[in-house]
Amino acid sequence: MTVELRHLRAFLAIAAEGTITGAAARLHVTQPALSRTLRQLEAHLGARLIDRSTHHLELTAAGHAFRPRAAAAVTAVDEALDPARAGTWPLRLGHAWSALGEHTTPLLRRWKQEHPDTPLQLLRVDDRTAGLDHGTVDVAVIRGDVDLPAEVATVVLLFEPRVAAVAADSFLTRKARLTLHELVGKPIAVNTIAGTATLGLWPPDAAPNDTVEVANTDDWIAAIAAGTAVGVTTTATAAAYPNPAVAYLPLADVPVVPVRLAWRQPPSHPAVPDLIAFARRFMTAQPPSGAGREGFRARRG
């Protein structure tokens, strides 16, 4: 049997809906036809993808592993057949927050100059892999330690110092530099989706007692600006999210954050190798940023 796009769409619909009934309605097919399509896909792969032992269907371990691959394949076909993209094929660069900080705009401009026939599309995706897992992007900016599949290649572009983010009217802004210990008096804003700062930064016997969990950088900034919480981030956030109600202050004695580019092998776009080589060359030529040296000063907008 030859696997067709409808087999992948069927599996993805069932995974998203959790029931055959919901998935059949979503795809406008009958339930028996959808069940038959799923069985054909499982027979081809030689693995059970959906656990049917409960009323609400669950993915098996094989199903969880197959889901991002199926999503990437469907997205790639949809992109290729999109009439609006005829004649152009944008190279999609994903990021969960801050992209490449102060280097983002210069990099995009230089790419446009050197590769005018390949548009570089910057996409923010609130996801730990910045859309790479689901095939939404061709290359992703990844910060910190992220679990990536074996077929994903990475290269380190730079290392970003961490900074504290506090309300601009906080008494903490009287200091030129802060320590993690000085932040424990307030709840810590934690981006649970794609953030690099967790309570693991603090010693176990001196960790904050309270957190404010958010799902994206906008909500993280809002919590800090309101004085509800303080946060730990990198210098890229200070460059990408200046806010008159937020001050960014250097943090002492905390590890820097590696910033990587990640892409699938084989690449989903023919220009991926060009972008990797270009980004490495571009970053190597950049002088040390003011935000990345000991002389970093708090920014308030």
Q: Indicate the residue among 51, 83, 115 that finishes a domain.
A: 83
The stretch 84-89 carries a mean pLDDT of 62
CA distance 246 to 239: 12
- Count Cα atoms within 13 angstroms, Cβ side, for 260: 19
Same structural domain for residues 140 and 269? yes
Query: Does the pLDDT value for residue 125 go beyond 70?
Result: yes
CATH of the domain at 9: 1.10.10.10
pLDDT of residue 85: 57
pLDDT of residue 295: 34
Same structural domain for residues 204 and 119? yes
- Calculate what percentage of the chain has a pLDDT beyond 70: 92
CATH of the domain at 257: 3.40.190.290
* Lowest-confidence pick of 76-80, 188-192, 279-283, 286-290: 286-290
pLDDT of residue 177: 95
Q: Does the pTM of the predicted model rise above 0.95? A: no
Same structural domain for residues 93 and 241? yes
In DSSP notation, 10-46 reads HHHHHHHHSSHHHHHHHHT--HHHHHHHHHHHHHHHT
Query: Does the pLDDT value for residue 217 go beyond 60?
Result: yes
Same structural domain for residues 152 and 276? yes
**Contact residues for 266 (Cβ-Cβ < 8 A; gap 6+):** none
pLDDT of residue 1: 67
Number of domains in the chain: 2
Average pLDDT over all residues of the chain: 89
Same structural domain for residues 71 and 106? no
Query: Does the pLDDT value for residue 180 go beyond 90?
Result: yes
Same structural domain for residues 261 and 181? yes
pLDDT of residue 84: 58
The stretch 162-179 carries a mean pLDDT of 96
Across the chain, which distance is largest between two alpha carbons, in Å? 70
Given a contact cutoff of 8 angstroms between Cβ atoms, the answer to whether 173 and 166 are in contact is yes
Same structural domain for residues 23 and 107? no
19 vs 75, more confident: 19
Q: Which residue range is the domain that position 42 belongs to? A: 5-83
In DSSP notation, 210-278 reads -EEEESSHHHHHHHHHTTS-BEEEEHHHHHH---TTEEEEEBSS---EEEEEEEESS-SSTTHHHHHHH
Same structural domain for residues 51 and 182? no
Same structural domain for residues 58 and 206? no
pLDDT of residue 54: 66
133 vs 108, more confident: 108
Query: Does the pLDDT value for residue 170 go beyond 90?
Result: yes
Q: Indicate the residue among 83, 113, 134 that finishes a domain.
A: 83
pLDDT of residue 293: 38
Q: Indicate the residue among 83, 100, 130 that finishes a domain.
A: 83
Query: Does the pLDDT value for residue 296 go beyond 60?
Result: no
pLDDT of residue 289: 53
The stretch 149-169 carries a mean pLDDT of 95
81 vs 252, more confident: 252
Same structural domain for residues 149 and 227? yes
pLDDT tens figures, 1-39: 678 899 999 999 999 888 999 999 999 999 999 999 999
- Count Cα atoms within 13 angstroms, Cβ side, for 8: 17
In DSSP notation, 92-109 reads EEEESSSTTGGGHHHHHH
Same structural domain for residues 254 and 153? yes
Q: Give the three-state DSSP class for 135.
A: coil
Same structural domain for residues 240 and 143? yes
Cα four-point dihedral sign 200, 171, 167, 253: negative
